[in-house]
Amino acid sequence: MPHRAKDAGFFALAGLWEHWQDVEAGKKIDSCTVITTRANEEVAELHDRMPVIIGKEDFDLWLEVNSPRNDSEEVIKRI
Q: Is it the case that residue 52 has pLDDT exceeding 90?
A: yes
Contact 35, 49 (CB under 8 A): no
- Residues 6+ away with beta carbon under 8 Å from 59: 12
Name the residue with higher pLDDT: 76 or 67: 76
pTM: 0.64
Beta bridge partners of 50: 37
**pLDDT, tens digit, for every residue of 10-47?**
778 999 888 889 889 999 999 999 999 999 998 999 99
